[in-house]
């Protein structure tokens, strides 16, 4: 069964979505991410991906209070990303209720720090973020390209003990044009043991079903839910029908 992981992206404490990571193309969906998370939980969703977009841009955690409010109001398992650059950032995020942290830019720019976190907290709590565009890893809220090629990047960190990866195809993110299923198949063909979480482009339950058929372990989606292309009833039905 594929793990369904809705996303709450936060700017100034509000639930928003960007298109292709462009901060000039932002749409607000709710002034209360907590209310959004509580509704998700009411329909059986147990996992949540929270992204601090202000933090990603500012290079330090900004919306930690929003994380704390969500964690206090729900029992959801939360992974948090965006702006986690230092030991203090990591401590704040865990103290505010995240069970897992996703590190992308830090893994590119400060690999020693990321590897130390991985050793200290383990592969269950530290997720590798692989945000990719044209086969290259992008960093700092997708505002900068890097010299890291996706497959080499994954291979290196899997050797270091990484087990979970969130791979976002930037060109598809927020565009509702379907996920890069071909890319995820390619990744799993090379690294079949990887707990790969697909992100970007999901437009319908059919997209999620296609990823499930491709044996992708997890999927993050956001805009399709907020735009009504995927409903909470759809998710509830999918979860019920997927139970063994």
Q: Which residues are catalytic?
A: 9, 131
Give the integer Cα–Cα distance in Å for 123 and 161.
Answer: 7
Apex CA 83: angle with CA 81 and CA 89, to 5°?
A: 95
DSSP labels for 104-165?
Answer: SHHHHH-HHHHHHHHHHH-TTTEEEEEEEETTEEEETTTTEEEEEEHHHHHHHHHHTT--EE
Q: What is the largest CA-CA distance in the chain?
A: 44
Tokens of 92: 């704040």
Tokens of 204: 């319908």
Query: What phi and psi values does residue 243 have, to the nearest 5 degrees?
Result: -70, 140
């Amino acid at each position: 069964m594929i793990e369904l992981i809705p996303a709450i992206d936060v700017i100034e404490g509000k639930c928003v979505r960007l298109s292709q990571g462009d901060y000039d193309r932002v749409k607000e969906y709710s002034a209360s991410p907590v209310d959004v998370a509580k509704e998700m939980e009411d329909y059986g969703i147990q996992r949540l991906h929270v992204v601090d977009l202000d933090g990603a841009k500012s290079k330090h955690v900004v919306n930690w209070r929003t994380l704390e409010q969500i964690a206090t109001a729900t029992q959801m398992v939360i992974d948090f990303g965006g702006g986690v650059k230092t030991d203090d950032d990591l401590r704040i995020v865990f103290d505010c209720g995240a069970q897992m942290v996703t590190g992308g830019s830090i893994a590119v720019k400060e690999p020693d720090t990321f590897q130390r976190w991985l050793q200290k907290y383990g592969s269950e709590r530290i997720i590798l973020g692989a945000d990719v565009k044209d086969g290259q890893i992008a960093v700092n809220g997708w505002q900068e390209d890097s010299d890291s090629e996706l497959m080499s990047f994954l291979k290196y960190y899997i050797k270091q003990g990484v087990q979970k990866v969130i791979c976002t195809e930037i060109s598809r993110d927020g565009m509702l044009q379907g996920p890069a299923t071909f890319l995820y198949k390619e990744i799993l063909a090379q690294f079949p043991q990887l707990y790969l979480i697909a992100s970007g482009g999901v437009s319908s339950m059919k997209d999620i079903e296609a990823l499930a058929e491709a044996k992708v372990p997890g999927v993050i989606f956001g805009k399709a839910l907020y735009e009504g292309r995927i409903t909470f009833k759809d998710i509830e039905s999918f979860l019920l029908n997927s139970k063994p």
